[in-house]
Amino acid sequence: MNVHQFIEELKVRGVHRAAALYSAAAWAVLQVADIFFPVAGVPEAAINVVLVLAAAGFPIALAISWFFDLTREGLVETPPITSPPRTSVVSIALVVEFVVILLLSLMVGFLYLDRLTDLDSTAAQGAEEQAPYQPPRRPSIAVMPFVNMSDQAGMDYLGDGLAEEILNLLAKLNELDVAARTSSFYFKDRDADIKTIGKQLGVGHVLEGSVRHEGDRVRVTAQLIEARSGYHLWSETFDSQLGDLLALQDEIASAVVQQLQVLLSPEAKKLLSTNTTVDPLAYDYYLRGRAYLRLPTDQDHLTFALALFDRAIERYPGLADAHAGRCEALLARYNMTRDSEDFRGAEAACQRALTLDRRAPSVYIGLGKLYLASGQYRQAIAEFDTALAMNGSHIEAHLGLADTYLAQGQRAQAEHHYRAAIDNHPNHWQAQSKMAAFLFLTGRAEEAIPYYRRISELMPDSANAFSNLGAARFMMGEYEQAAAAWRRSLALAPSSVTYANVATSLYFLERYDEALPMYHQAVELAPEDYELWGNLGDVYRYTSSGNDMSGPMYANAIRLAEERLAVNGADARALALVGHYRAALGEKRAALDALAEALALASDDAYVNYSNATALVSLGEEADAMAALQRALDAGFPRHLALADANLGRLRQLPRFEALVARRE
C-alpha cells in the first residue's frame, strides 16, 4: 500500500474523524474532572487516573475506527478498498477538518503535559521555604476571630466565640477543609496580612469579621477573602437579637459555602441548619465559658469555664454545646490532675451532649478521648471512627485514633493516622507535635527534630514554639539549651508541664538542688499528677542537703498512680512507675508484682523496660537490671538519658554498661 492509498483509506474508514471526536470528548471529560473533582472532594490522584485512561484509549479508538464502521445494524467490519487510489483534491473543508483535529489533539496533549509538570513540581517541591503560595485545589478556609467593635471592654469573647462556632459548623462538612481553631486563632492580634495567613495555614480563603454589641442587639459584619489575591469575594452586615446568634451563625456559614461553590449533599445541608432558639443569657454564658477554654490550660481557667457552662445549663438545659463544653473542661482537668471525679463528670457531660445533638463530631471526639484515658480502646476507636465518618479530614479524629493505636502498641496504625493528620492539615502545630512525640517515644528521636523545628516556624515567639524547641534540644542531649528554651516558654505561659521539663533537664545535668524547686512549682499547679510526685522523690534522693524526703513523695505518687489505674488498669507505664516507686521504698514483693503486670501488658515498650531496670537497680538486682536496660535500649530508649540518669548509678559503674550503651550510638 502506497502513501496515497493509505491516506485514502484513512478518509474512507473515518479514522481522522474518530480522532477528532475522541480528542474533543477526552478534552471535555478532563475539563469536567479538573473543575468538579476538587469541589466534590474526589482525591487529586483521580484526575491523573482519568488522564492516563484518556491517553491509553486514543490508539484503541483509532484501531476500532480502522477495522469497524458504526451502522444502523451496529458495528460491522469495514471492507478494504479495492479500487485504485484517486487523486486527492485539497478542499477548504478538508483543510479546516484537519486543522480542527490537530488543534484538539494538541489541546489534549497540552493537558497531559501540564498535569505531568504539576506532578513533577509537586514532587520536587520538598521543603522549599520561598515557594510562591499555591492555594489548595480542594475548597479550604480559615475562620479568624471576629474583631470586637463594642464600646464595652471585655467583649472579645463574643467575637471569638461567634467565629469559633462558625468554624465548628463548617468543620462538620466533609466537602470542605477548615483550618483548626488553634491554628487560625494564633493570628489574633498579630500583624499578618491575609496572604501570609493563607500561606501559613495552607488555605485558599479566609473569613474575617467584626462584632458590635449594644444591649440585646448584635451587629455582625463578615467578609470572605481569597487568600492568594486578597480579593473580597463577599461581605455582608447582619443585625440580630442576641438570642438569634445560632441562626445568624447558620446564615453566615451557608453564605460562605455558597460563595465557595461547594456542592453539598442533602445530609451536609442539614448540618448547616440548627433550627434552634436558645435563651440569650444561656448562650452568652456558654460563649464566655468557651473563652476560658481558649486560654492557657490551668486550674483557675478551667474552674471559671465550668462555672459558666453550669450557669448556661441551669438557664437552658437543652443547650448541647454547653454540655459538650463542660465535658471538654472536665477532661482537660482530668488530664492535668488525674482526679477520677473529673473523669466521671466528663463522661456524664459528653453522654448528655450526645443525647441532645448526635450530629456534632466534637462530642464523639470528647467521648473518644475519655475512653482512651480509661483504657477502653475499642470504644475509643469506635467514637473516633464515627467522627471521621462525619468528616474524613477531621484533625482530632485522626490524632485520637493515632493516640489510641499507640496506647495499644500498634505503631504502624498510629503512624498512619499521625501522618494523615499532617497530610490533611500540614500547618497544624499540634499534629506536628504529636508526630514528633511519637517518633521520640518509639526510639526515632532524630526523625522527630524537624517536626519540632517546624512548630517553631509555625508559631514563632510563642510559648509552644519555645517549648518544642526545648524538646528538640532535649532529644539531642543538649540539656542546658533545652532548659534555656523551656525557661523562655515559662516566661510567656507558665504551666506544670514546662516547670517539670526545666526540672528534668536540670536533673540530667546533675543539678538536683536547682531541679527541686522547679518540680515543686509543677506539683503546685498539678497536685494530682503522680509522675510529678515521683520525680520529686527521685530528686530528693540526690540533693546535697541530706534531707531525704523521697519516701513521702513516692508514697503520694503511688497513691495517685493507683487512682489512675482504677480508671485505666491497662496503663502499663503507670504500673511500671509504681514498680519503680515501690522498689525505691524497699517494697520488693509489691514492686516485682507491679513490674510483672506492666511487662505482661507491654513487654516491648521502651519506657516500661526502663522503669523495670531502674527498679531492679534499687532492689540490688544488677544482672537483671542490665538485661532490662538492654531491652529498653533495643526498643528505642534514648541512650543519652541512660548515660545521665542517677537512678542507674550502680549500673553505670560496671564496664559492661559502657559497652552496652555505646553499642547504640
Cell reading at 158: 463574643
pLDDT in tens, 326-376: 998 998 888 777 777 898 899 999 999 989 888 778 789 888 988 898 888
Q: What residues does 141 pair with on adjacent strands?
A: 178, 205
Contact between 434 and 418 under an 8 Å Cβ cutoff? The reply is yes
Which one-letter DSSP state was computed for residue 648? G
Q: Say what the pLDDT of residue 290 is.
A: 87
Q: Say what the pLDDT of residue 4 is.
A: 54
pLDDT of 527 higher than 70: yes
Q: Say what the pLDDT of residue 659 is.
A: 81
pLDDT in tens, 514-524: 999 999 999 99
| 637 dihedral zone (left: phi>0; alpha: psi -120 to 50; beta) | beta
Closest CA to 508 of 476, 530, 531: 476
- What is 305-357 written as a DSSP string? HHHHHHHHHHH-TT-HHHHHHHHHHHHHHHHHH--HHHHHHHHHHHHHHHHH-
pTM (2 d.p.): 0.59
pLDDT of 85 higher than 60: no
Q: Say what the pLDDT of residue 620 is.
A: 93
Cβ burial of 588 (10 Å; 0-12, 13-18, 19+) is middle
pLDDT in tens, 547-603: 678 999 999 999 999 988 988 888 999 999 999 999 999 999 999 999 999 999 999
Q: Say what the pLDDT of residue 130 is.
A: 39
Closest CA to 629 of 539, 565, 581, 649: 649
Q: What is the CA 483 to chain-centroid distance, rounded?
A: 27
pLDDT of 534 higher than 70: yes
Contact between 452 and 472 under an 8 Å Cβ cutoff? The reply is yes
Cell reading at 370: 475519655
pLDDT of 504 higher than 70: yes
pLDDT in tens, 267-325: 767 766 665 667 888 888 998 998 888 776 778 889 999 999 999 999 999 988 899 89
Which one-letter DSSP state was computed for residue 243? G
Q: Say what the pLDDT of residue 62 is.
A: 64
Closest CA to 622 of 651, 586, 583: 651
pLDDT, averaged across the chain: 81
Give 129's pLDDT tier (boundaries 50, 70, 90): very low
Which one-letter DSSP state was computed for residue 175? T
Which one-letter DSSP state was computed for residue 123? H
